[in-house]
Structure 1
Amino acid sequence: MKRTLIVVIIAFSSFTYLSAQDIDSIVDSLVARRSITEKVTLKLSTYNSSEWFEVAGSNGQPGFDIRPNDAIMNRVGFNYRFLSFSYKFLISALPPNADDEEKGETTANGFNFALSPGQWATDFSWDKTKGYYLRNTDDFDNTWMDGDPYFQFPNLESQIFRARIGRVLNPEYSINAVTTQTEEQLASQGTFLPSLRLTYYTVNDKEPFGPNVTTTQRARQFEAIFSVGYLYTLVLGKGFYTSVDLRPGLGYLNTGLLTRFANANDIETNTDHFVTGFDTDLQLGYNSSKFFTGIRGSYDHYEHDQYETSAARITNERLRVEFFFGIRLKAPEQMKANLDKAEANMLKYMVKRKLRREERKKQKLNQN
């Protein structure tokens, strides 16, 4: 069963992602990048905060800056070749997360699955968070002072579904060397990376958004962002490297908001927006045959045109700092053998398909 599942995954990736250009570039890319096929990686990451959102104010009223009590998040991952799976979790007992009396209790978890064969890079993720607090409580309570409990929303829950797909245009650049550490960048390289990111948010509160507020809201957002970024990895030597990227993007945002009143009919609004912004990352890392470690800083900034509406506006990962550490272990022989066989069959199929395509081109030329 395990063997069949692995073969199915490999076959799916070959049909969907690989192209003739991938086949042509395999030999050339060996000079600048190396796939660590004999080892699996176990990776632990710790980073500051998860995602939060803002609700824009209207008619002269202040907005709402609503955040979870998750100053420190954690993620554990398993990576092998171009497959990656990770699980996100929150440890409430950690000192930065333990101020429940002031900010309330938050529970959060999620998972991520990445598939990056050849020059393709894709990932799919789901995150769920419950329990938020109102960071700008002082806008609603003039007597509030630092150290006082924030206004809390223990039943406020959000879910985020995200899918990304992109293609590395330079076959000698390894995105896996930076993200999953299943490859090694042997020589400094840069590349352009066109990509599409799709995100769907749902936010539902069963309590008012602050003191003196009698309404509750349920919001959903769909966002599609297309970006063309540039990534560069500088190999410093002796296992050290640094990587930087800048990805400007634009896209579409649709927001739907249901406002529920205690003594009146509910109001539902729907708005469309044109979105522009950018993402940028800076990473410093170290690689060895047995372990790897590094630090990564990320900043995201996206804006959209504003209308006179109270629709929810969700902000993702404005500023994040992540520390990661991982170990490399010998891959189980059966797993390695299954993937070797599947990749060999995949390569044979792609070569045959390319030859058939070339033969059809020749036939068309002869007919003309």
Structure 2
Amino acid sequence: MRNLLNVLILLYYPISLAQEKEGEIKHALSHKYNLDYRLNYFDKMIFKVDINSDVDNFYIPKLNYTDNKKSIFSPDEKLKLRFSFDYKFLGISYSFSPDFIPELNNKRANTKTLDLSFKFFYSDRLRQEVTYKRVKGFSLRNPDNQNPIEVFDDLEINTIGGKTFYITNNNFSYRAYESQTERQIKSAGSFMPSLTYFINNLYTNNPNSTDQYLERIKSVDFIFQLGYMYNYVINKTWFATGGLHPGIGIHDSKNYYTNNQESISFDNKIKWNYNLDLNFSLGYNHENFFSGIRINYKNYQYDSKVIADIMNSNFNSVFFIGYRFNEVKKVKKVFEKIENQFGI
């Protein structure tokens, strides 16, 4: 019986490996990339968890709290927990801010965050991202020493937006950097033109007052970036990624004031948005297990010096760990129907 089992195993594995290799070749041919550069885990379902500090600080100039300097509203929950699922062309993630950090003093805001994202590829090189963010609870900080001045537990900012970008080099794997649904086998880079668009809504949620106060700020941004990213393969298990994304855009905003009896709105002038994104990551890849760190920096400079407006910049880091599981046949059939229908 044992000999028969050994024979069956010896017969099964070569057939299984041959089918897997055939699938890799078919995927490479259909998407026109060189198998020497990219390995796609088309038959794997990827689950990932990460701890990150991707929480924006918002800057509002001339808000009368800091002697006409730029006011810094900072969320006090600095860590978020994110869960991600990626399979074939689709990626979904959900993140929130658990109570990682105990309350340090009575000037700490009770920050709550919620992020939802939906990411997919129209084709092998054309990618779409849709995101929703909600942050409630900020501390107003001194721009000189970052010390908290006042707590705004009810101050809330909602952001909804998206990003569309194109990868010019077939042999560069953005998936290896972002979702680990692929592996970069040989070092490669690519230019990545992108268009980002988002709407911010800031709600002060001020209690009833007879004095006129700022009730809401609504801003709309359109940003074009011409970025470049490079995956450097250190060895069979380690790789590093670097990215530089300079850009320019337009920023439009509207302020709403009220005294709970009447509301007044002011249209601000459309402004230029000068921005820069930087990426760096170091990753480890085993056959199915993977982990790594990412560091991201974005700096948005707006020509807004007179009236209240929303400006945000961000420096964040991510530590992630994940595993590639074999695909579920029923799920595979559904995704293959979608791929065949839309030619993804």
Q: TM-score, normalised by structure 2?
A: 0.82
Gap change, CA 1:152 and 1:344, over 3 Å in 2:
same
Higher mean C-alpha displacement, 125-134 vs 30-39: 30-39
| 2:16 counterpart residue number | none
Gap change, CA 1:49 and 1:344, over 3 Å in 2:
closer
Q: Does 1:185 align with 2:180?
A: no
Q: Secondary structure of the equivalent of 1:101? A: coil
Q: How many residues align?
A: 312
Give the helix-richer structure, 1 or 2.
1
Deviation digits for residues 284-305 of structure 1 (CA, Å, limit 9, x no counterpart): 0011122111111111112122
2:119–2:128 Cα contact (<8 Å) kept: yes
Gap change, CA 1:102 and 1:304, over 3 Å in 2:
closer
Q: Does 1:291 align with 2:289?
A: yes
Q: Secondary structure of the equivalent of 1:45? A: strand
| 1:43 counterpart residue number | 48
CA distance in 2, matches of 1:291, 1:101: 43
CA distance in 2, matches of 1:50, 1:263: 35
CA distance in 1, matches of 2:144, 2:325: 51
Higher mean C-alpha displacement, 108-117 vs 58-67: 58-67
Q: Which runs of 5+ in 2 are unaligned?
A: 1-26
- Tell me the CA shift for residue 111 of structure 1: 0.4
Q: Does 1:127 align with 2:123?
A: no
- Tell me the CA shift for residue 133 of structure 1: 1.3
Q: Which runs of 5+ in 1 are unaligned?
A: 1-21, 140-144, 351-368
Deviation digits for residues 37-65 of structure 1 (CA, Å, limit 9, x no counterpart): 12111111111251121110179623321
2:28–2:35 Cα contact (<8 Å) kept: no
1:249–1:278 Cα contact (<8 Å) kept: yes
Q: Secondary structure of the equivalent of 1:176? A: helix
Q: Secondary structure of the equivalent of 1:103? A: coil
Q: TM-score, normalised by structure 1?
A: 0.77
Q: Secondary structure of the equivalent of 2:170? A: coil
| 2:166 counterpart residue number | 167
Gap change, CA 1:319 and 1:300, over 3 Å in 2:
same
Q: Which amino acid aligns with 1:87?
A: Y
Q: Secondary structure of the equivalent of 1:178? A: helix
Q: Which runs of 4+ in 1 moved over 6 A?
A: 22-25, 262-265
CA distance in 2, matches of 1:87, 1:253: 28
Q: Secondary structure of the equivalent of 1:315? A: strand
Q: Secondary structure of the equivalent of 2:106? A: helix
Question: Percentage identity across aligned positions?
Answer: 24
Gap change, CA 1:128 and 1:176, over 3 Å in 2:
same
- Tell me the CA shift for residue 186 of structure 1: 1.1
| 1:275 counterpart residue number | 273
| 2:195 counterpart residue number | 196
CA distance in 2, matches of 1:264, 1:138: 36
Gap change, CA 1:334 and 1:156, over 3 Å in 2:
same
1:75 to 62, 82, 99: 82
CA distance in 2, matches of 1:38, 1:71: 36
Gap change, CA 1:99 and 1:137, over 3 Å in 2:
farther
Q: Secondary structure of the equivalent of 1:249? A: strand
Q: Which amino acid aligns with 1:124?
A: V
Gap change, CA 1:88 and 1:23, over 3 Å in 2:
same
- Tell me the CA shift for residue 267 of structure 1: 5.5
Q: Does 1:108 align with 2:105?
A: no
2:243 to 237, 242, 245: 245
| 1:52 counterpart residue number | 57
CA distance in 2, matches of 1:104, 1:216: 20
CA distance in 1, matches of 2:28, 2:323: 30
Q: Does 1:87 align with 2:89?
A: no
2:307 to 303, 306, 310: 310
Gap change, CA 1:165 and 1:267, over 3 Å in 2:
closer
1:137–1:151 Cα contact (<8 Å) kept: no
